[in-house]
């Protein structure tokens, strides 16, 4: 499928998704949300994809929702925002629950919806000049794009309120200190580092990664009894994969495993 607002490529088990509206800060439109959703379905269902990198074209990662498009649809404002948010959310749910780890390579400012998308990554690498800002309330909007789900888990409730109510801007290093970013690198090294990590994941036990991701999604919401039962079911199911028994055997025989992702 050809895309208008994103670039999508697959190399050696790694899918690279680039938000591609650099002239408009890679702002989220209905079309971009639809194309991101389509890409998420491919990443979820194609067994050849074992890691995903999401980044932005140009100087910014993503400046948030396209307020010009919102304004043009003001006659159906509520319906339009619900429509765009629901499609975007469907994509983010798939990225969160798929087996392949998702790396956010934040190449510049992540604001509003871009801030939210960055938070949804399994691993976040930021260029040293990147900035992070919630920004929603500055336009009298409430957050979407998963930020109310992930931000408090990353930084704590009081800090989440501070970022969302005051729209404080964090530098890349501050975002790392707060727990929003895993690693800060020189901008010239960003994609090399992201792809290197993605290739490491792509050579790993993909089903185990997926099981771990899904378990952590309920770490703050399920009871201990429910969570531990999920853990038991999940670790047991690894014996029905190819990589599970192979990994155990390789460890016992002091051999380096060669995971297939199956």
Q: Which one of the listed residues 66, 89, 99, 122 is annotated catalytic?
A: 89
State residue 125's pLDDT score: 98
Give the confidence band of 76 by pLDDT, cuts at 50, 70, 90: confident
CA distance 228 to 120: 24
The average pLDDT across 114-140 equals: 97
CA distance 202 to 36: 21
Indicate if the pLDDT at residue 202 is higher than 90.
Answer: yes
| CB proximity list for 47: less than 8 A, separation 6 or greater | 261, 262
Burial 221-234 (b: 16+ CB within 10 A, else e): eeeeeebeeeeeeb
The per-residue pLDDT for range 34-58, each reduced to its tens digit, is 999 999 999 999 999 999 999 999 9
State residue 47's pLDDT score: 95
| % pLDDT > 70, the chain | 100
Q: Which one of the listed residues 66, 99, 122, 144 is annotated catalytic?
A: 144
**CATH level 3 topology of 6-202:** 2-enoyl-CoA Hydratase; Chain A, domain 1 (3.90.226)
Indicate if the pLDDT at residue 1 is higher than 80.
Answer: no
Concerning whether 144 is annotated as a catalytic residue, the answer is yes
State residue 174's pLDDT score: 98
State residue 82's pLDDT score: 95
In contact, 92 and 115? CB cutoff 8 Å: no
Give the confidence band of 71 by pLDDT, cuts at 50, 70, 90: confident
State residue 67's pLDDT score: 86
State residue 70's pLDDT score: 84
CA distance 30 to 36: 10
Q: In what order do the strands lie in the sheet with 183-185?
A: 6-11, 14-19, 51-56, 102-106, 123-127, 183-185
Residues forming a β-bridge with 183: 125
The DSSP bridge pattern shows strands 123-127 and 6-11 to be: unpaired
The per-residue pLDDT for range 134-168, each reduced to its tens digit, is 999 999 999 999 999 999 999 999 999 999 999 99
CA distance 113 to 144: 7
> What are the domain boundaries of the chain?
6-202, 206-252
Instruction: Report the chain's mean pLDDT, rounded to a whole number.
Output: 96
State residue 74's pLDDT score: 84
């Amino acid at each position: 499928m050809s895309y208008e607002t994103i670039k999508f490529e697959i190399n050696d088990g790694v899918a690279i998704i680039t938000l591609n509206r650099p002239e408009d800060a890679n702002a989220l439109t209905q079309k971009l949300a639809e194309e991101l959703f389509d890409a998420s379905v491919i990443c979820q269902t194609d067994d050849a994809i074992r890691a995903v990198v999401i980044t932005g074209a140009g100087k910014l990662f993503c400046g948030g929702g396209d307020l010009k498009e919102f304004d043009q649809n003001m006659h159906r404002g509520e319906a339009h925002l619900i429509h765009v948010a629901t499609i975007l959310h469907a994509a983010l749910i798939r990225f969160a629950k798929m087996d392949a780890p998702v790396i956010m390579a934040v190449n510049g400012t992540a604001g509003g919806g871009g801030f939210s998308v960055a938070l949804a990554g399994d691993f976040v690498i930021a260029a040293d000049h990147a900035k992070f800002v919630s920004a929603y309330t500055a336009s009298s909007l409430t957050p979407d794009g998963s930020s109310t789900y992930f931000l408090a888990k990353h930084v704590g409730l009081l800090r989440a309120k501070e970022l969302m109510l005051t729209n404080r801007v964090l530098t890349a290093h501050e975002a790392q200190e707060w727990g929003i970013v895993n690693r800060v690198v020189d901008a010239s090294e960003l994609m090399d580092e992201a792809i290197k990590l993605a290739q490491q994941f792509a050579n790993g036990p993909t089903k185990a990664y997926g099981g771990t991701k899904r378990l952590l999604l309920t770490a703050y919401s399920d009871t201990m009894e429910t969570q531990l039962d999920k853990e038991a079911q999940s670790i047991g199911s690894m014996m029905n994969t190819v990589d599970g028994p192979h990994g155990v055997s390789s460890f016992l025989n002091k051999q380096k495993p060669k995971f297939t992702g199956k």
